[in-house]
Each structure stands twice: as structure tokens, then as C-alpha cells.
Amino acid sequence: MGLFFRRVTRSAVMKATALMGDSPLFLVNYLMRLLRVVVLLTLWRSLLPTHGTTSGLTLGQVLTYTVVGAAAAELLACRTWLEDSFWSGAIAMRYLRPMGIFLQFSAEMMGPIVLGIACFSVPLLALSPLLGVNPLPANLGAGALFPVSLALAVTICLAIEYLFSGFAVAIQMHPYAINSMRAAVWAVLSGAFLPLDLLPWGLGRVFEWLPFAATASSPLKIYIGSGAPLPMMAVQVGWAVLLWPIAIWVWNANRERMVAYGG
Amino acid sequence: MEAEKPTPVPLRLFRLWGVYARMDLLLLTRDLKSFLVWSLSDAITNVAAVTGMLFLAARFRGIGSWSQPQIVFMLGYAALVEGLGSLFFNYNVLHISRRIGRGQLDHVLIQPQPLWMTLLTEGFSPAFSLPMAAPGIGMLLWALPRLTMGVSFPAFVLNLISSTAVLLGFQFLWGSLAFSAPRAAEEINSSTLDLMNQLKQYPLNGTGGLLRFGLLTLLPVGFLAWVPCQALLGMDRSALGIYKTPLAALVFGLLAAAAFGKGMRYYARIGSQRYTDFGHRS
């Protein structure tokens, strides 16, 4: 167990220190994300009434949703970039390491996430009262259920990650095409930036049943106290149980067909 | 023996664009699967990129002082700016930090033509990029007949080119950091481009003085759609209205040229430590 833990933490640390690289320029990314949050908050303030609700959401709830969504962005849309390693050829060396492929990439994923939490999420949540946003959960129950829902969201995200990686091997396409399409569709369907309740024509009620919503909308709605948490978490569990066997099957069925490009 | 007359620059540019357009088409159409996957993914990506704001405009019948057709016009304009950027400056010209950071600028420098000419032509990518521009054109065509006032076509073209120039200048300004920090800044243009693309679709009317100033200077996202569309749609009636974005393009072009020139002088002395003798970045 100790060895396992050490392997995982070492992988995460390696990735995080590689990201920090040879210059503090990596911090610019976080400044840009902060700017984006500020613009989004301005947009909501110009759209929603100060008093009363819109589709059951108050302005305060939407602002908290936006800030917490930005703070937890790396967990809500967690990426291992496994499919990029097919393209660069780095995957070949991965098979020589004494860790499973999924575990290697999942462990490495945690490095930038922890770095992001330290450099962006915590400062953002601390600064949010200055932006006129209450960063606290709606109530104690919401605060207690949020981490559970967030963990389920990460589980589903990873399942989708490996599912897409399996498809990437199957169709042997440049990962850019798949990544950009997936990111764009996720941004709309997950509710990470735009609460699904605010979508027109009742689309949100349809989207909330999709796995993308289970990765972002569900934990964020639980945090702000919108909707019943247990049914949302039940949907999350359902997607996790459904997607993981499919992801493993797709991966196992296609890994022998893998061609590593580059060198 | 008489020396061969040099080809006039405009003709040379068109020839190069022709060469790169053909190569781009060959790359896209090398097989049916590639063609379908790339075209489909680009179309979906670009429609999805503006869908959020379209949903909001539909849900709230406009955004702030912007009516629904005005918002759709602005989104179409913004998508077209992104499409033009990709059309003329693809293949990591718009992501210049990647080329500089990876030591790939050497590939450009060894070509028998000026650096500016290579950078202006090498990224021409009509086959890959036209699907990106299509949603923008579609939105503009939907919005135009529904607007209460007409849009001047020359002013539209001038502003569209200027907005693309602001985007290019901003990318080169930040990308020049990769001369001195090749590893750390290699992907900085991914961050700057993502941010510009994400923020360009928002009307900035509600932003406060300091934030708005920042969004027009440090991060000139306002010039990618908001400022020019306000002028084109008659919401900014000041005398300078339609010239604000061209002026911004001039300023950012000069700043980018100065930063890139300084970086090139540094590169001439130091070179790239990331380019190894077997051609792969370290």
C-alpha cells in the first residue's frame, strides 16, 4: 500500500513540477481564468434580477455556481491526455513502467489538479467575497454531499476519458479533432459554465440526464442547494456503473490496434 | 546572361497561398475517414462554441441592451474572426509560441524568402478552416435581415480584418515570450487564444471601468467583436466608432512587431536549446 501510494504521489509531483517548468509563466494561465470568472459574473449581473428567481435560481446562487464551478474546473473536466500520448509516441515507454496505464495517467492528472487548487481555486474562493459572491455551500447538508458528488463526477469523467481514448485508438485519428469536439460539446452539455436550468425550451431537463451533466451540473447544483441531491447522485452512480465496464471493454478491444505515432 | 526578374510581391503571395491551399486540401482529403472526422469535429466545435450565448440570447430575448438579432450578429462576427484567424494563420502561426518554443523557427528561417512572407502564407488553410467560418457566416446571414438598421459593407470588412489583426498581434506579443522561456511559454498561445475565443462572445457593456480598460488593452478581447459590432450596429455613434478597431490593430501590430523583433535578436544570439540534432524537441 505504501509503495502504491508513493508511486501515485511521485507521478503527480513529477507532472506538477514539469508544469511549473523553468519559469513562473504558468501562473499566467490562472490569471486568465480569473479574468474569465470576473467577466462571467458581470454577465450574470447584467442578465438576472437582483431580487427574485429565474428558473428557480437566485442571482446569488448563480454567482456561487460560477465561482465554485471555476474553482473546481480541473476536477469537473478532469483530463489525463492519454490519447495525446498515442500521437506523440510517448505511450510506448509507458508500457515499460511498473504501473498500469490508467493508473499512471490518473496519478499524473492529480499533479496539475493539486497545483491548480493551490494556485487558483483557494485564492479564488478566498477572494470571492470581494467580487460580491458568497463562496459557502447552501447549507451543511449541501457542504457534506458536495465532495461525494464531486468524487462521483471525477469517476464519470475518467470513464469518459478512457472511453474516448479507446475510440481514438479504434479510429486512429489525430487527438486534436476528438479533443476539441469533446471539449466544445462538454462545455454546452455539462452545465459547467451555464447552469442547465437557465437553458431555453426546457433543454436543461433533457441534458441533466446525460453523463456530461453528471460531471459538472450535479455537484454544482448540490452545492448551491438547487434541486434534490439524492436523485442527482443516483444518476451519477448510474452513469459510473454503466460507463466503466464499457470504457474497459472498448479499451481492451482496441489496445492491440494501437499505433504510436511520433518518437 | 540576363538575371531573372524577381516576381512581384503580391503575385508571389498569391502563388504561395495557392501552394499552401493545395497542400492543405491534400492533407484533408487524403482519405474519406480523415475528411469526415475533421470536417465534423470542426463544425461541431464551432457551433458549440457559440451555443451557450445563443441559448442565453434566446432565453432572455437578448442580453442587456443588445437585441436577439444584434447578439446573433455579434456571435457571427466573433466566429468569423476566429475562422479568419484559422484560415490564414493555421499550422501554429497563430500559436507562434509553439514554433518558437520548440525551436521550429529554424524551419522558417532557412526558407529562401523573408520571414514575414513565410508567416503570412504558410498557415493558409482553406480546406480545414472553411467549416470553422461557416457557422459565423450562417449567423450573420440570419441576423442581417432582422436588424433595424443596415450594416456598411466596407466598414464591416475593414473591422473584420482589423479584429483578426488584433488577434494576431496579441498572439505574437505573448508568443514572443517563448524566445526567452521556450519550455515554460511553449503553450502560452494556447492559453491566450482559448481565453480570447471564450471571452470574445460576451457583450462587455456591464463591465466596470477598470475591467473594461483591461479587456481593451491588456487582453484586447473587446476588439474581437464587442467594439466593432457596437460601431457597425449603430450602438456607438461616436465619430471614431468604426475606426477604433483599426486603430487598435495598428497599435497591437506595432507592439507585436517590436516584441517579436526583440525576441528575434535574442534568438540570433542564443538559438534554441530545445532543437536536437535528430529534430525532436527535448
User: What distances in angstroms separate CA A228 from CA A219, B19, B70, one per listed residue?
Assistant: 11, 59, 38
Contact A25 B181 (CB under 8 A): yes
The answer on pLDDT for A119 being more than 60 is: yes
Contact by Cβ (8 Å): A157, A78: yes
The Cβ of residue A203 has, within 10 Å, a number of other Cβ atoms equal to 16
Q: Please report residues of A whose CB lies closer than 8 A to that of B58.
A: 200-201
In this prediction, residues A3-11 reach a mean pLDDT of: 82
In the block, cell 513562473 appears at A24
Instruction: Supply φ then ψ for residue B66, to 5 degrees.
Output: -95, 125
Per-window interface: B 23-82 vs A, CB < 8 A? 33-34, 37-38, 40-42, 44-46, 48-49, 51-52, 55-56, 58-60, 63-64
Burial class (CB in 10 A: 0-12, 13-18, 19+), A3: exposed
The amino acid at residue A240 is A
pLDDT of residue A86: 76
Query: In the structure, what pLDDT confidence band is assigned to residue A263 with cuts at 50, 70 and 90?
Result: very low
Contact B211 A178 (CB under 8 A): no
Nearest one of B47, B190, B80, B213 to A38, comparing CA atoms: B213
pLDDT of residue A151: 94
What ipTM, to 2 d.p.? 0.77
Contact B41 A201 (CB under 8 A): no
Residues paired with residue B66 on neighbouring β-strands, in sequence order = B63
In the block, cell 519559469 appears at A23
Contact by Cβ (8 Å): B276, B265: no
Q: Does B199 touch chain A (CB under 8 A)?
A: yes
Encode pLDDT of A186-221 as tens digits: 888 888 888 998 888 888 889 989 999 999 999 999
Q: Please report residues of B whose CB lies closer than 8 A to that of A38.
A: 211
Give me the tens of pLDDT residue by residue for chain B, a chain 282 residues long: 566 777 888 899 999 999 999 999 998 888 887 788 777 777 777 777 778 888 888 888 888 788 889 999 999 999 899 889 989 999 899 999 988 988 888 888 888 899 999 999 999 999 888 877 888 888 899 999 888 878 889 999 999 999 999 999 999 999 999 998 887 788 888 888 888 888 888 888 877 778 888 889 888 999 999 999 999 998 888 878 899 999 999 999 999 999 999 999 998 888 777 766 555 555
Cell of A35: 479574468
B115-147: string of b/e by CB count within 10 Å (b at 16+)?
eeebbbbbbbbbbbbebbbbbbeebbeebeeeb
Is the overall model pTM greater than 0.95, yes or no? no
Q: Left (φ > 0), alpha (ψ -120 to 50) or beta: where does B62 sit?
A: left
The number of CA neighbours under 13 Å toward the Cβ of A146 is 22
Encode pLDDT of A141-193 as tens digits: 999 999 999 999 999 999 998 888 888 888 777 777 777 778 888 888 888 88
Cell of B79: 466566429
Radius of gyration of chain A (CA): 19
A156-168: string of b/e by CB count within 10 Å (b at 16+)?
bbbbbbbbbbbbb
pLDDT of residue B17: 94
For chain B, give every domain's residue range: 9-270
